[in-house]
Structure 1
Amino acid sequence: MLNKPVRPALALARPFSNQERDAVYRAINERRDVRDQFLPTPIPDDVLLRLLQAAHSAPSVGFMQPWNFIVVRDAKKREQAWSVFSKANDEAADMFSGERKATYQSLKLEGIRKAPINLIVTCDRSRGGKVVLGRTHNQQMDLYSTVCAVQNLWLAARAEGVGVGWVSIFNESDMRELFQIPNEIKIIAYLCIGYVDELYTEPELAAKGWRQRLELKDLIFEEEWNRPTKT
């Protein structure tokens, strides 16, 4: 018996009120990569669930929803994860030289042990089958979809007064072994999550002189590559 076609549910796409709109842009503009401002205050389960629901509400190619979330609270496990980071961080420092290396070594680049919750966001590239709608010609779309989930969580966290830090300095094989993640599952993000009472007013790397924000006007082209915009 054939399934009857289901009429899609539609709702009015009304603009947000000025107050609602401003709150969205505030979350975007005040989002920070937190490394050292975490408080020891536990995150209630209902708050964590709201953050994970925000992540789970992200768009995904072919609606494949390729993400999984590993919640890490155990102090011993976080200490082991920090050791994985520390090993890679020493390797990374050696990729710089002179003053740049000294500046790098002065930066705190993670909050693994300080944040009460660590969260690993993964991508199951097999979810949805071999042929996924929308991924037929760009096989990376499932990875991009999972990054959208991370951004959703990050913005929701800002609204909750929760800080998030993305740790990217580690050898994936070491982290995979520590958390028993299958080889076919891709690690997208290792996040440190905790309440904060202070945030930098600009990105920390800008505040500490590592790199400044580029001018938006220099990044916009019109009609084709490298044609400056008239806007």
Structure 2
Amino acid sequence: MSMDVQNYRRYGLVIKKILKLKNSICSIFDIRIGDGRGTLFWHDPWFENKPLISRDEFRGLKIRRDCAAATVHNIHNGLWVSVITRVLEGKRAIGHLNGLNICNMADVYLWKAEENGKIKSSAIWNVIRERGQIVSWASLVWSLKIIPRHRFILWLAFRGRLSTRDRILAYMDIPDANCVLSSGFAESIDHLLGGCFFALGLFGIFLLYSWEL
């Protein structure tokens, strides 16, 4: 395997993730248009914090290469306006552009995540992180009263990802899938956390000890 192929496989996923975050990052800064020369009309989120090129309304519109590379300054001076206004969303963008105070100052990018002149990493993280469905057991698993190792094990258990013997048997031949603590029962997550007599006995001891404390 050549080095070029290896590098492509190594960095391909990283590049895809960066491109996926592009539209999310747009929501953490504002563009203040000055002369419009430093802002791309199609690709920068100068209008409603979303690039025009990514909007569904423009998918059927044939955009020439020179038009696709146009700046806000170019469009404000009348270039390709007749093409852009063929789409209703384009008319809205041009109307917004005509209402801006175009001046001789350079365009400015302002971070929304700033506080007292400093960028808040927590605000940026909340924008770029992938959000999943909120589950009822989240507060239990990620409680500060539980040590990190036990949090991780609980997280795997609630997601059905613990490497119990019944799961291992699905992709590997093992001599026995029964629980080693109570024979006759298949080792599964439900069994270990609810049906295993040995595990239930341990839980009872821990509960009694914690109650005495």
TM-score (norm 1): 0.22
Which structure has the bigger radius of gyration? Answer: 2
Q: Which has the higher contact order (CA 8 A, sep 6+)?
A: 1
Higher percent of residues as strand: 1
TM-score (norm 2): 0.23
